[in-house]
Structure 1
Amino acid sequence: MTRQAHMQRADVLIIGGGLGGVAAALSCLRLGCTVLLTEETDWIGGQLTAQAVPPDESLWIEESGCTATYRTFRDSVRAYYRQYYPLLPASRADPFLNPGAGTVSRLCHEPRVALAVLEGMLAPYLSSGQLRLLLNTRPTSVACQGDRIEGVTVEDMEGRRLDLSAPFVLDATETGELLELGHVEHVIGAEGQDETGELHALSRAEPLNQQAVSWCFAVDHHEGQDFTIEKPAQYEFWRNYRPEFWPAPQLSWSYTHPITHAPVVRDLFSNPTETPHGGDLWHYRRILASRHFAPGVQPSDIVSVNWPQIDYLLGPIVGVSPEERARHLTGAQQLSLSMLYWMQTEAPRHDGRGAGYPGLRLRGDVTGTQASHGLAKSVYVREARRIRAEFTVTEQKVGVEARGTLTGAEEFTDSVGVGQYRIDLHPSTAGRNYVDVASWPFQIPLGALIPQRVENLLPAGKSLGVTHITNGCYRLHPVEWNIGEAAGALAAFCILNGSQPRQVRNTPVLLADFQRLLSDTLGFQLAWPESLRTVPSPGF
């Protein structure tokens, strides 16, 4: 039986403690607002921590393309390793230290380190009481009055309920839960060309056509030892499962190239290079590299498994019943465990010595789940519910091919940040293969953060006004951070000025003041330098 709810209030209520939620809290707090922040797991940080996904970032992230606080976060991760880890002198002195030396990012690192840094960034505000953080807490209902959100009821793991309220409510959940609970107009899945006119959209809308989710996990490897897990309940199904567009069973070293759809073979250890997007699977998302340490100090690398083989395609987790959602989440867990078991027992070895790598060890201690399933704390969600916004970013605004002879992405006068990444859509729950096409370095328009009707709810993550297609380049770590930080700053600005978000966007003086606050006070980058703005995202 649940207990009677109690009310807590703040200036800004943020539901969801992922990267966008943390960044939103930081901007609100820096501008003097009190904040209530909830998180469904016991780890803040979302895709970077609880979902165990090392950062996917822009080509020029070391010198351009993020907010000042995101740069502080990145610098602090490196400082953490230099201070607490017994690195070799050359690694410690490297100004661009990549702890994992993974090829997917210039800052591959462990989830726990990201967690420690994020907690450190919030710590002063927790001590002062300006921030209240509620972990293991999820939203259950939203109270509305006309076009305003009046409050959100949340529940913790023990069934205790709280009523939370604030003048501004930010949805930083991984799936845009407040949009459904609060009946905020939104879109799920794929829009049709008849609505968006996008070059790579489907001809008609398919709401249940959504990008695959992935349940990531961490492993290390000790040749000659045996850490084989118990055979997963669904192993035989996954061992024989082959998507129609896949070149081999999903549990194999083969997959389709994201851009060309040609078959690709990439095994565990055959190509130990560290060039961007190169090498074998082991070096792709490695999060701790033993080469940074003296021999014997770190006996094995640690790798985050977020590979095509664990993309779950059998159904979406948004827009379905709770029972179907639970079934698909269980299926995603089983797929990941089956991939690990296959690698331990049946995978063709790179050295020709039979099959299987029993020395692969599941590192639930790295992901904080050693006492349970050993995978990441939560599933990696690439695509959420998206608001019907005052302005929606379509492929025509940012896609290289879709913009034809135009050079560069459309420039937005209401920009609140920047990002750079390919339009990268993973295979979908409706059987569509990768959609991976070039985009121009882009801006984040303020209009995409403002719902068409509701006045005081703002998206602080992947739920902004983008499409199924453009979500593919707006969903990555630094962009989610920028979106959240901008939403938090907008809420604080409105409180300080007695204004509403759509007024800020549509009143030139207010918009100029807000953008000045972002750039001069908070350290936002609102535009790309011309030398980078016209460089399309490369393939690989």
Structure 2
Amino acid sequence: MTKQIQADVIIIGGGTGGCAAALGAARSGRSVVMTEAYEWIGGQLTSQVVPPDENRWIEQFGCTASYRTYRNAVRDYYRRFFPLTEQARARAGFNPGNAWVSRLSHEPRTALAVLRDMLAPYVHSGRLQIWTGYKPVRAETDGDEVISVTVCGQDGDKLVLTGSYFLDATEEGDVLPLAGVEYVTGAESVAETGERHALTGPANPRDIQAFTHCLALDYNEGEDYTIAKPREYDFWKSYQADFWPAPQLSWTVPSPSTLAPVTYVLLPEEGANPLFTYRRLADRSNFQPGAYKTDLSVVNWPQNDYWLGPIVDVAPEERHCHLERAKQLSLSLLYWMQTEAPRKDGGIGYPGLRPRPDATGAPHGLAQAPYIREGRRIRAEYTILEQHLSPADRPGGKAEKYPDTIGIGSYRIDLHPSTALRTFIDIPSLPFQIPLGALIPIRVNNLIAAAKNIGTTHITNGCYRLHPVEWNIGEAAGMLAAFCLDNGITPRGVRNSPQQLSSFQTRLRNNGFELEWPSIGAV
């Protein structure tokens, strides 16, 4: 069955950027349709099971007002419905998981509930339609305009979506090839970008950051939840990349910034660097006795990064193979930990590690979706380069100042090992702005990049890909589409008209966007 649906703004992809885009466009008075390939909206925050990676100033500044609303709502959700300890309830910076890499580590089901609540007023009024389980399969264009995008459901039903503006908020930039939008994949050459860390040889479109199929679990000492031996376990047990200091299934990995070997432990009581608390989602010490039997954690660690091949712009069979092998890697890591991992007490294995499919909404405790760090990137009106924000290239200690700023962000240039079998690139960056030109394709008039698919390079994608930045990009894209409709102008016209640009930036500020950083240093 095929159904025709029309709206002012069509958003393909209901991840972090897509949800923020829907919020921005619907709040601006426009009718919106948002589709999402997976059952849960929220992307990184939900279906990928990745708690927020944020800048160090996030509690004071460094995000949009709506993202701050999201953060506050997460804390309020626990305070309203969960039996917290008095200390946890009173803590202004309450961190449900007390993870050591996230200031607000929380469960994906909490994120899902909060996102649904934030979008509910627009869904209930009929201004916003959300269709989950639908993937884009076709786009119709007329010259430099997108006319429609067709999405297909899991049962074969199709929706033909028509609108004035189309926002690509998918995790891999899936609309771009369908609509013939010019884009880039992989790693650029230094000859092309002049970046210090670009490839010295030719560009490599298949040189893409590793992705990870995350896994949620808890730990019950004295119990046995050992899974069946994964079919690829023997391969992963013996596999060791040339740039890795130990077998893939071990406690020893390279430090991302120095590449020196670092050895972790599993549990906090075993010593320094406990992986179980690295991205812990729920710390039972925050809750009254009996509320949580154990802590809940997510396995999104160096050991289950998958880099044996890309999944973008490859044959369907190759893509499926790599997606399945990434699942096998995560399950093999779990099985190794349950049966063969050395313990600090001299024992072998942690059979009490229990997968938590209830926490992820998918079998075996695996995430519904892989965590995608890098996909397709538009060839944009403006491309963000390493030299625009690297301290090594900015003797004044400030990132490039963009007259068309639509927001701010901050994160290290953090590149995980790549599918060209290159190791980490993890270097400092200066707090940066998000230029409007990076959201606008060089040719197509009514498509806007609304997630990680903006005009970055392989290098700068490493710091523009995290939660609050993706949210800012998406929300700005939704508001841009609404502004263009209100004023009868294209995104390119907004950027190239000082008067229209100033008016749009005023609208952003009035809606809680921060467009400039205060004076702070590199991260």
- In structure 1, how many angstroms separate the alpha carbons of the residues matched to 2:77 and 2:493? 42
1:305 to 299, 302, 306: 299
- In structure 1, how many angstroms separate the alpha carbons of the residues matched to 2:392 and 2:244? 26
The correspondence of residues 78-477 of structure 1 with structure 2, limited to 5 A, is 78-203=75-200, 204-269=202-267, 279-352=273-346, 354-369=347-362, 372-403=363-394, 405-477=395-467
- In structure 1, how many angstroms separate the alpha carbons of the residues matched to 2:291 and 2:314? 48
Structure 2 runs not aligned, ≥5 long: none
The one-letter code matched in structure 2 to 1:427 is P
Is the contact made by 2:268 and 2:277 (CA closer than 8 Å) also made in structure 1?
A: no
Task: Give a deviation string over 1:323-372, Cα, whole Å, max 9, x none.
Answer: 100000000000000000000000001222x2100000000100011xx3
The correspondence of residues 38-53 of structure 1 with structure 2, limited to 5 A, is 38-53=35-50
TM-score by length of 1: 0.96
The one-letter code matched in structure 1 to 2:154 is M
Deviation at 1:295, TM superposition (A): 3.0
Task: Give a deviation string over 1:426-449, Cα, whole Å, max 9, x none.
Answer: 000111000000000000000001
SS in 2 for 1:38: strand
Task: Give a deviation string over 1:451-503, Cα, whole Å, max 9, x none.
Answer: 00000000110000000000000000000000000111100000000100000
Partner residue, 1:7: 4
The one-letter code matched in structure 2 to 1:103 is W
Q: How many residues align?
A: 522
- In structure 1, how many angstroms separate the alpha carbons of the residues matched to 2:241 and 2:45? 28
SS in 2 for 1:41: coil
- In structure 2, how many angstroms separate the alpha carbons of the residues matched to 1:321 and 1:399? 36
The one-letter code matched in structure 2 to 1:512 is S
Partner residue, 2:19: 22
SS in 1 for 2:380: coil
Deviation at 1:401, TM superposition (A): 1.5
Deviation at 1:374, TM superposition (A): 2.6
- In structure 1, how many angstroms separate the alpha carbons of the residues matched to 2:392 and 2:341? 39
- In structure 2, how many angstroms separate the alpha carbons of the residues matched to 1:180 and 1:322? 15
Is the contact made by 1:218 and 1:362 (CA closer than 8 Å) also made in structure 2?
A: yes
- In structure 1, how many angstroms separate the alpha carbons of the residues matched to 2:270 and 2:182? 48
Partner residue, 1:495: 485
Task: Give a deviation string over 1:110-160, Cα, whole Å, max 9, x none.
Answer: 000000000001111111100011010110001010001000011111001
Cα gap change, 1:220 to 1:188, in 2 (>3 Å): same
- In structure 1, how many angstroms separate the alpha carbons of the residues matched to 2:86 and 2:365? 33
Question: What root-mean-square deviation, in Å, do the aligned CA atoms of Structure 1 and Structure 2 show?
Answer: 1.0
- In structure 2, how many angstroms separate the alpha carbons of the residues matched to 1:119 and 1:270? 34
SS in 1 for 2:147: strand
Among all aligned residue pairs of Structure 1 and Structure 2, give the percentage whose two residues are the same amino acid: 56
SS in 2 for 1:219: strand
SS in 2 for 1:167: strand
Is the contact made by 1:271 and 1:279 (CA closer than 8 Å) also made in structure 2?
A: no
Task: Give a deviation string over 1:244-292, Cα, whole Å, max 9, x none.
Answer: 010000100011110111111012025678xxxx731111100100111
Is the contact made by 1:101 and 1:288 (CA closer than 8 Å) also made in structure 2?
A: yes
- In structure 1, how many angstroms separate the alpha carbons of the residues matched to 2:386 and 2:119? 36
Cα gap change, 1:357 to 1:501, in 2 (>3 Å): same
The one-letter code matched in structure 1 to 2:457 is T
Partner residue, 2:522: 536
Deviation at 1:69, TM superposition (A): 0.2
Partner residue, 1:61: 58
Is the contact made by 2:11 and 2:22 (CA closer than 8 Å) also made in structure 1?
A: yes
Task: Give a deviation string over 1:393-446, Cα, whole Å, max 9, x none.
Answer: 00010111233x231101101000000000000000111000000000000000
- In structure 2, how many angstroms separate the alpha carbons of the residues matched to 1:247 and 1:518? 47
- In structure 1, how many angstroms separate the alpha carbons of the residues matched to 2:68 and 2:273? 27
Is the contact made by 1:268 and 1:350 (CA closer than 8 Å) also made in structure 2?
A: no
Deviation at 1:298, TM superposition (A): 1.5
- In structure 1, how many angstroms separate the alpha carbons of the residues matched to 2:352 and 2:365? 16
Is the contact made by 2:407 and 2:434 (CA closer than 8 Å) also made in structure 1?
A: yes
1:524 to 508, 513, 519: 513
The one-letter code matched in structure 2 to 1:328 is H
Deviation at 1:201, TM superposition (A): 0.6
- In structure 1, how many angstroms separate the alpha carbons of the residues matched to 2:260 and 2:49? 28
SS in 1 for 2:4: strand
The one-letter code matched in structure 1 to 2:376 is R
Is the contact made by 1:344 and 1:357 (CA closer than 8 Å) also made in structure 2?
A: yes
- In structure 1, how many angstroms separate the alpha carbons of the residues matched to 2:350 and 2:248? 18
Is the contact made by 1:269 and 1:350 (CA closer than 8 Å) also made in structure 2?
A: no
Is the contact made by 2:270 and 2:344 (CA closer than 8 Å) also made in structure 1?
A: no
Deviation at 1:296, TM superposition (A): 3.1
SS in 2 for 1:401: helix
